Amino acid sequence: MEVVASPRSAEDTVSSGALLQIDELRTHFFTHDGVVRAVDGVTLHIQPGETLGLVGESGCGKSVTAHSILRLLPLKSSRITEGAIRFRRRAGDQVDLAQVDPRGPLIRGIRGDEIAMIFQEPMTSLSPVHTIGAQLAEVAQIHQGATRRDAYQRAEEMLSRVGIANPRQRLDEYPHQFSGGMRQRAMIAMALMCNPRLLIADEPTTALDVTVQAQILELLKELQSQFGMAILMITHNLGVIAEMAHRVAVMYMGKVVEMADSATIFDEPMHPYTVGLLRSMPQLGKDVKARLVAIPGSVPDPFSIPPGCSFYPRCPAPKKPTCQGPDSVPLTEARPRHWVRCTLYQ
Amino acid sequence: MVAEPPVRDQSVGPESAAENPQRPVLLEVRELKKYFPIQRGLLRRVVGHVKAVDGVSFAIGEGETLGLVGESGSGKTTTGRLILRAGQPTSGQVLFRHNGEMVDLTSLSRRALKPYRKELQVIFQDPYSSLDPRMTVFDIVSEPLVVHRAARGGELKTQVRELLHRVGLRAQHMNRYPHAFSGGQRQRIGIARALALRPRLIVCDEPVSALDVSIQAQVLNLLKDLQKEFRLAYLFIAHDLSVVEHISDRVAVMYLGKIVELAPAEQLYRDPRHPYTEALLSAIPKSSPRQQKQRIVLPGDVPNPANPPPGCAFHTRCRYAQDICKVETPPLREVAGGHVAACHFADTLELAGVE
């Protein structure tokens, strides 16, 4: 089952020692109306201890990418058709998560232990009928074989680490007794129970108010410096990216179209889509009365993604014949450590 | 961050209401209150009240945009609903200028209210749940015209076609159902419907929060264009302060049912006088990784509106709170021209705004 990583094509964004490396991942959904190529060329890597921001608009495949890593996709309707998700385990060996049995012991040992995930809506991801303590303790009982007593001890410690007052008393409460911000803290505590190497945060602050969002982002940064885990930060909010990410991968229609370090993405974006996204974001205190520069048109229908460059129909840049396909545009390293999927830079 | 020379739209700036006090008042809200009873037990005894809106006053001029910001539960949506008479206020007045006179909408019967309904419209947050999936786009956009007997037959078709064209939709699509449209397009359908009766005020309740950034910019631009063209006034309710700054002439900040600060947009952002405004501004994620930001992280959550803290409702989270704040409710008072704040120390605190 385990596939040992081998050096691959020139497309490889290999940097040795990457914690997670995804190569041209394709996850497709098979529906009555046709095939949805939700993830159709995701290439990215995450170094140990860093935060990679995965940014894109709704339907671009960010969450499906995350679910593919943990193999949480519906078994009947979806399949990873191509690509590799290589993850370096604690012991130092590498597994290709794209190849493992999604119901097997290997992935179940990794999920929640070495890779943990937090979700957008904490109320729907916590069980309403179990106490916070039971839900947290379960993680340690399952993955570390901890006794009930030790597991509760650890749960209490984690609650206090994420800034919940009176953790002992809070262990016996149910999620509905927590406020939105506290639930998100509890979920983070649960995710960090086993000291994961990678934390996947899928829109962790989208449902929260700005002041609470600020609390949670500060908390995540603080916990990262204490625990040293890498974070895959999935969001549509460029502000959250600017705040959190060391490096950024931008997705459009199932593909990573650009990846570079955070400052480069914001200061010198190369892909016309990234440029458009940044321009359409209203900026506090800047050019307040000017018109926003919107990207024309809307995201294409997922059943009929244009061949070649999927951004082509909305792209303001001068077109090249190769934009329209038939071949898809490869992700290339246009500048050192700056990858872009655009014919302008081929 | 993106290299492009800033283009300032000169025509918008000098027009803003704050700089032009002569702009006639279109809507004035006075001491508006809405208390929702909390009922318990078999007999549904009233055991308390949630003071969702607790004495809100403001005015909107013709063609002006007033931004209303605050966190969830601050009462901004309820305020919008009360203005539209989608809920009956507990007390207070909603005065609307009609044929040169200020009419109190809260005192009118349903029937008497009908002519005013044409002039006040609403755009909702979620373009998925606010459109009836079993009505075609034509049905949705024409409904207000039919209900108010404003047009029929061929004239109705022509008007709907024009409205759709105006909001950037293709008239050929008017026999389709909402599911065939994307989120941004659906929001345009909602805008076309709101425009149908040529209103003078539109309550926009989080009109772009459900949209993606690239689509959000399209809709904001459209709202601005329509405002110029039809001299519309907007009450723009939102939690995103950068969006609000972009579209508003003046901005009001709400906390637990009360307005804590109201000022011309630029003044509020550059020189906030209420600690809550300062904290809200500092909580906005930065727009570039290079930007340096001093963040004020507010402790805790918004208190329960059924049981707000005594004195200044913000004192439990305020880092400048003194003893007086715990007992005495600060009144909303003028601290500079057209700038009001409800803080005991509004004159002395040195608060940080946006550079």
Identity at A275, one-letter amino acid code = V
Give the pairing of strands A115-118 and A20-31.
Answer: unpaired
Residue of A62, A206, A210 to mutate when probing chain B, most B C-beta within 10 A: A210
| Subunit contact A209:B183, Cβ cutoff 8 A | no
User: Is the CB of B301 less than 8 angstroms away from the CB of A262?
Assistant: no
How does pLDDT run across A151-204, given as a tens digit for each residue? 999 999 999 989 888 899 999 999 998 888 889 999 999 999 999 999 999 999
* Closest CB from B13, B221, B287 relative to A242: B287
Residue A293's pLDDT band, with cuts at 50, 70 and 90, is confident
What DSSP element (H or E) covers A265?
helix A262-267
Query: 3-state DSSP call for residue B50?
Result: strand
Find residues 22-61 of chain A whose CB sits inside 8 Å of chain B.
57-58
Instruction: Give the residue on A whose Cα is nearest the Cα of B241.
Output: A284
pLDDT one-digit tens code per residue, B61-112: 999 999 999 988 889 999 999 999 998 999 999 999 988 889 999 999 989 9
Q: In chain A, what percentage of residues exceed pLDDT 70?
A: 95
All residues of chain B having their beta carbon less than 8 Å from the beta carbon of residue A243 are 285-286, 289
Q: Which residues of B touch A291 (CB under 8 A)?
A: 7, 9, 221, 224
Write the ipTM.
Answer: 0.79
Assess whether pLDDT exceeds 60 at residue B14. no
What does the DSSP assignment read for A57-102? Answer: -TTSSHHHHHHHHHT-S-TTTEEEEEEEEEEE-TTS-EEETTTS-T
The shortest C-alpha distance from B91 to chain A (Å) reads 29
CA pair distance A145, A106, nearest whole angstrom:
16
Please judge whether A292 and B8 are an interchain contact, meaning their C-beta atoms are less than 8 angstroms apart. Answer: no
**Backbone Cα Rg of chain B:** 21
Contact B282 A210 (CB under 8 A): no
Alpha-carbon distance B154 to nearest alpha carbon in chain A (angstroms): 30
pLDDT at B194 over 90: yes
Which chain A positions have a beta carbon within 8 Å of B5's beta carbon? Answer: none
Residue type, B209: S
User: Is a pLDDT exceeding 50 seen at residue B1?
Assistant: no
pLDDT tens, position by position, B230-279: 999 999 999 888 899 999 999 999 999 999 999 999 999 999 999 999 99
Name the band, by pLDDT with cuts 50, 70 and 90, for residue A11. Answer: very low
Instruction: Return mean pLDDT, chain B.
Output: 88
This prediction has a pTM of 0.85
Closest Cβ opposite residue A214 in set B4, B221, B295: B295
Confidence of residue A6 (pLDDT cuts 50, 70, 90): very low
Give the pLDDT confidence score for residue B41 in this predicted structure: 83
Give A286's contacts in chain B (Cβ within 8 Å). Answer: 6, 287
| HEC string for B69-137 | ECCCCCCHHHHHHHHCCCCCCCEEEEEEEECCEEEEHHHCCHHHHHHHHCCEEEECCCCCCCCCCCCCH
Q: Is A102 on the interface with B (CB under 8 A)?
A: no
List pLDDT tens digits, range B304-348. 888 889 999 999 999 999 999 999 999 999 999 899 999 999 999
